Amino acid sequence: MEEDTIVALSSGALPAGIAVLRISGPGAAPAMAALAGGVPEPRRASLRTFRDASGGTIDCGLALFFPAPHSVTGEDLAEWHLHGGRAVVAAALGALTALPGLRLAEAGEFTRRAFDNGRIDLTEAEGLADLLAAETEGQRRQAVAQAGGALRALYEGWMRRLVRLRALLEAEFDFSDEGDVGDDVAAGVIEGVAALAGEMAVHLQSARRGEILREGFRVVIAGPPNAGKSSLLNALARRDAAIVSAVPGTTRDVIEVSLDLGGVPVRLADTAGLRATSDTVEAIGIERARRAMAEADLVIALLDGSDTSPATEATHGETATSPVLCVLGKADLLLPAAALPAHDLAVSSATGEGIERLVAILAARAAETVGDPAAVLPARLRHREIVADALGLLTDPALSRLPPELVAEALRRAGDRLGALTGRVGVEDLLDVIFSEFCIGK
């Protein structure tokens, strides 16, 4: 399949003002010559009439050609810029795939070929996938940094340091009789390993920030039945995402909406009301609510500002292990101040009172947790697991007591493990999964 020439629409949904067809592989130049009247000068747009095999006109547009290896895929690559009508694109694709050895591309195949041909490494490919999926400014900035090689530079820098430390050790036991080899190289190597391990540990500590940027800052609204949780979710989402009813126990499951607050993705969840119940289905919903509270980055403990009954422990969020923001709902119906429980702010989903302030607080909490979106963060579980594995090899307490030969072997294994981050070693079984995240034509 790698010898095939592939083609796909690379410019998005139709109809559109312009459609870009991309052709990559050894048949790109012959296809251009056969259907566009010749191959244009490399990297220069040329106005062409595109024709099918029978000579019928498909469309007039621009043709570009990028010879290997100086293309995004590392192969000969051609682009047709046509009018973005569905019939135009269908006719062009039909004419191209009728040529011998030319077929439609699979999802992510252009990027996979760029990786296979050394144009990008695996972290850059993952960054490109994240960039295509980015929905907030923070996600875009993180993805741009990764796609630009920020993670690759960091991880390859660690690998070079490990190679140098190995070289010092091997010089000690291979050339110990030479005058320019120190007497106590091993001690210096252990110090170098400790310094590198410290940097790796700090990098891992930032993993949650990267996960939040990719997956979202998780906020759970919790409280007793009829406190106004679903109404608050709808007010924050600015749409009717959850059913609102005066009947206690209406919400039985966790209902999520996604928000973009200050460029940080926020996943806001409405949960079942917390109370003692004999209803089996409601009890399952309450258990899911408690689980969501435990996994949240922030819990909004919502109290009913019009309720005269004493607040329960769960209502106040005191059973939550996550940070808690205590909010009084139904601010338009508040009891006298002396009767109100302690709270951080009051809101009314009916009138909008306090909603903007609550949004500002959520945005500030999310931004504070994430920090700089452009920082070099281990954005994926794969990154975190591999760095943790390598760190485990470098922080083994027995390392300082091992003979130099075994220390060098441990460093080699750690370096090979880091090589899986950029795709140098041991990732063949992951490639199909990673590149399947891309759309057709990318």
- Asked, for residue 375, whether it belongs to a domain, the answer is no
- Asked, for residue 244, whether it belongs to a domain, the answer is yes
One domain, residues 352 and 254: yes
Note the pTM of the prediction, 2 decimals: 0.78
Q: What is the CATH number of the domain that holds 88?
A: 3.30.1360.120
Overall domain count for the chain: 3
Which residues carry a binding-site annotation for Mg(2+)?
Answer: 230, 251
Least confident of 19-23, 321-325, 338-342, 343-347: 338-342
Which residues carry a binding-site annotation for K(+)?
Answer: 226, 245, 247, 250
One domain, residues 246 and 277: yes
- Asked, for residue 420, whether it belongs to a domain, the answer is yes
Indicate if the alpha-carbon torsion angle 376, 379, 384, 385 is positive or negative: negative
Q: What is the CATH number of the domain that holds 140?
A: 1.20.120.430
Question: Reduced to 3 states, what is the DSSP secondary structure of residue 313?
Answer: coil
- In whole angstroms, what is the distance from residue 439 CA to residue 442 CA? 6
Tokens of 284: 């399952």
Q: Please, what's the b/e burial string for 46-55 (b: 16 or more CB within 10 A of its CB; e: otherwise)?
A: bebebbbeee
- Asked, for residue 250, whether it belongs to a domain, the answer is yes
pLDDT digits (tens, 9 = 90+) for 105-121: 999 999 999 999 999 99
- Asked, for residue 118, whether it belongs to a domain, the answer is no
Q: What is the CATH number of the domain that holds 281?
A: 3.40.50.300
Which of 70, 105, 140 is the last residue before a domain boundary? Answer: 105
Domain residues for 100?
5-105
One domain, residues 61 and 22: yes
One domain, residues 330 and 232: yes
Which residues carry a binding-site annotation?
Answer: 22, 79, 119, 226-231, 245-251, 270-273, 442
pLDDT of residue 405: 83
Averaged pLDDT for residues 346-360: 91
Higher pLDDT, 376 or 283: 376
- In whole angstroms, what is the distance from residue 50 CA to residue 245 CA? 61
One domain, residues 301 and 188: no
pLDDT of residue 250: 57
- Asked, for residue 349, whether it belongs to a domain, the answer is yes
Percent of the chain with pLDDT over 90: 53
One domain, residues 243 and 187: no
One domain, residues 232 and 346: yes
**Residue that is written with structure tokens 């403990």 in the block:** 301
Which residues carry a binding-site annotation for GTP?
Answer: 226-231, 245-251, 270-273
Which residues carry a binding-site annotation for (6S)-5-formyl-5,6,7,8-tetrahydrofolate?
Answer: 22, 79, 119, 442
Averaged pLDDT for residues 47-56: 95
One domain, residues 281 and 395: no
- In whole angstroms, what is the distance from residue 169 CA to residue 420 CA? 24
One domain, residues 225 and 334: yes
Which of 370, 401, 428 is the last residue before a domain boundary? Answer: 370
One domain, residues 348 and 404: no
- Asked, for residue 203, whether it belongs to a domain, the answer is yes
One domain, residues 234 and 335: yes
pLDDT of residue 331: 82
One domain, residues 56 and 142: no
